[in-house]
Structure 1
């Protein structure tokens, strides 16, 4: 068999093989202490699962078109992330009462500053200016801001319950409001105003579709969906397996224990980060923004209702309110994001500003 043919088969086979290998690795390592060599091997398998997830997400996006492809990846990652949060909260622990708040806030900062900044910088660096639709992106940003304020800021200032938390009635209202807002946005994105979320040209018109091979068949797309979910389960699970090693490393360098959650959130959001970066380098920054704001929205809109239901049987208080430093960072992110979105185009400066805010979030997580 010619070497090129072997290489071609390996190129097409690895996205299918890696998710299965990752799940097997997860089954073999779950709940066990790992040595340095095993930790390194798990990290390699985790990286492979992330790349496989991005590959299958692109297959699904090719079959469904935008913005459905971005929506599938964002929702799939978030559903699995929510399951992990609820599982960890149910297991108890010192930080269980604030785990949902810390994870959701980290997800918002990673998506709205880290992923957005990286995409804008990559797109502007290659094409001079990153173009996107301010109508669709502005609607997504408004929904994220509303969800974050209702779920993470208000509990700090309400007085019905002691501490930065909601009363039962307030938590129920926040959960219902989150679901309604998220459902309305998805309806707006996929049915009413789908053209607002498609890539645009510098003149503001919808960009022509990318030149691809023929779309994958329905069976191939369903297979990719199954492998995507398998890969994402492995990503989240292996991130949890790696968490004791991450925690030990964080403790060894003197960082606060809460920084472990930031590292795990970074790992879980790697598929969206890579997919957004690759879209930006193809001059499809709108797809990158769909991914970033969609992930932030899903993280809040699905997590808050899930923990509201889980709080029925979970012991202990549920702390959702942000601290003063976090509120300042969120407010600054909102202001900068509005100024970025309004023109419908961004240069490397806007991308750098978002990345600096992301760096500030990381630094203040290390040195609060």
Structure 2
């Protein structure tokens, strides 16, 4: 997203409208009967574009904060903001009491697949067509992939092979242990990214501003970011109703809910990553893409586990066999793609083929 000196009106007007819209919809008693209620139907048609606009506004202000703070702290702010949005959508569906036991698994899995195959593949193809080859720091990507493989195995694969509770489900003690380990590992990764080895993640094309931005500008961007995130979190409750009823009405596969949440959350960040690739800054694209997948697992699983202490709803984390095959193929391809520090169009198409397979099998399992 292009950032000018003045804050565009839509970036604060849309979240403000979203907050007012939530109040009005709540007062109107928006619920599961919206499909037979003309007012509810009108609300359902408006809430999706409004929350998407609020998501774009949140990402815009997160990027503004990121630009002021510089890399890699800026990218970290952006990925955490996106993860907060994702959590809001997941928790809203869980609180509604109608979320499937596999919602968390499907959402996290969808984010991993969309990011590591669709977004990464698109960035590599866009950059490869324009520049033939693009370079990045191999060590940074190795760090991303190493942490991502371990976190994915702990949260989505290992549950299938524990025996305390069958069916891809962790027991409470196991879930607590995995959540703590996940938080610790993600925290060590953040310390590595922002303090110990910051240079690995900065890249060669980092913009250097001529004058230091004022603290007032940073405070304003942070405030507007909080407002936009608040709008998304509240509107997520309405979107949860629409997704739940829509999936059941059209008799769609249960995994569609996770894909919808992932697409809503990742669209603005994906645009930023692709634009960075077009500017020959593939390192920033990878920071956004792989960083968001790490944040999804590192923050979502512990947060959902904490929420589950109150909700007391069992959820399945272990992947099905076909999804497990896709994950293994994705990680193997990623290791080969990022082994040399240079990419080209062919590697990008390999990732896009896996992404297309994932999307096809989502609708035709």
Name the TM tier (shorter chain): 0.7 to 0.9
Contact 1:182 1:297 in 2 (8 A): yes
Mapped pair 1:322 → 2:326: no
1:187 partnered with 2:191: yes
- Shift of residue 257, structure 1, vs aligned partner: 3.4
Unaligned runs of 5+ in 1: 1-7, 200-206
Which structure 2 segments of 5+ residues have no match? none
Q: Quote the Cα distance in structure 2 between the aligned partners of 1:54 and 1:258.
A: 25
2:275 is the alignment partner of 1:278 = yes
Find 2:253's aligned residue among 247, 252, 256.
Answer: 256
User: Within 5 Å, which residues of 2 pair with 1:1-368?
Assistant: 12-30=8-26, 32=30, 33=34, 37-93=42-98, 95=100, 97-199=101-203, 207-210=204-207, 212=209, 214-235=211-232, 237-238=234-235, 240-246=237-243, 250=247, 255-368=252-365
Measure the CA separation in 2 of the matches of 1:78 and 1:327.
23
Q: CA deviation at 1:10?
A: 8.6
Q: Bigger shift: 281-290 or 249-258?
A: 249-258
Aligned-partner Cα distance in 2 for 1:355–1:268:
19
Report how far residue 137 of structure 1 moved. 1.3
Per-residue deviation, 1:236: 5.1
- State how far apart, in whole Å, the 2-side matches of 1:318 and 1:324 are: 18
Partner Cα distance (1:42, 1:312) in 2: 30
Q: How far, CA to CA, are the matches of 1:224 and 1:94 in structure 2? A: 34
CA distance in structure 2 between the aligned counterparts of 1:9 and 1:148, rounded to whole angstroms: 41
CA RMSD between the two structures: 2.5
Q: TM-score, normalised by structure 2?
A: 0.87
Identify which range, 146-155 or 59-68, moves more after superposition.
59-68
1:300-326 Cα deviation digits (max 9, x unpaired): 111222233233333343311111011
2:89–2:240 CA contact under 8 A, matched in 1: no
Distance 1:29 1:125, change over 3 A: farther
1:62-121 CA distance string (max 9 Å, x none)? 2111111110011122134224423432332261x2221111111111221222122222
Shift of 1:52: 2.2
Q: Cα distance 1:92–1:135, how it changes in 2: closer, same or farther (>3 A)? A: same
8 A contact 2:92–2:236 mirrored in 1: no
Structure 2 Cα separation of the partners of residues 89 and 256 of structure 1 = 18
Q: Is the 1:59–1:216 Cα contact (8 Å) retained in structure 2?
A: no
- Describe the superposition over 1:239-291 as per-residue Cα deviations: whole angstroms up to 9, x where unpaired: 55345545565566653233122112210222321221222222221111111
Cα offset, 1:197, TM superposition: 0.5
* Counterparts of 2:328 and 2:122, CA distance in 1: 20
Structure 1 residues 364 and 228: CA distance shift in structure 2, 3 A: same
Per the alignment, do residues 27 and 351 of structure 1 end up closer, same or farther by CA in structure 2, a change over 3 Å counting? farther
Distance 1:236 1:327, change over 3 A: farther
Structure 2 CA distance for aligned equivalents of residues 250 and 157 of structure 1: 30
User: 8 Å contact 2:52–2:264 — kept in the other structure?
Assistant: no
What is residue 4 of structure 1 aligned with on the other side?
Answer: none
Q: Distance in 2 between matches of 1:69 and 1:160?
A: 42
Paired residues of 1:239 and 1:268 also in contact (CA < 8 A): no
Does the 8 Å CA contact 2:102/2:316 hold for their aligned counterparts?
Answer: yes
Provide the C-alpha distance between the structure 1 equivalents of 2:315 and 2:87, rounded to a whole number of angstroms. Answer: 15
Q: Indicate if the aligned counterparts of 1:77 and 1:232 stay in contact, CA closer than 8 A.
A: no
Distance, in Å, in 2 between the alignment partners of 1:321 and 1:354 is: 23
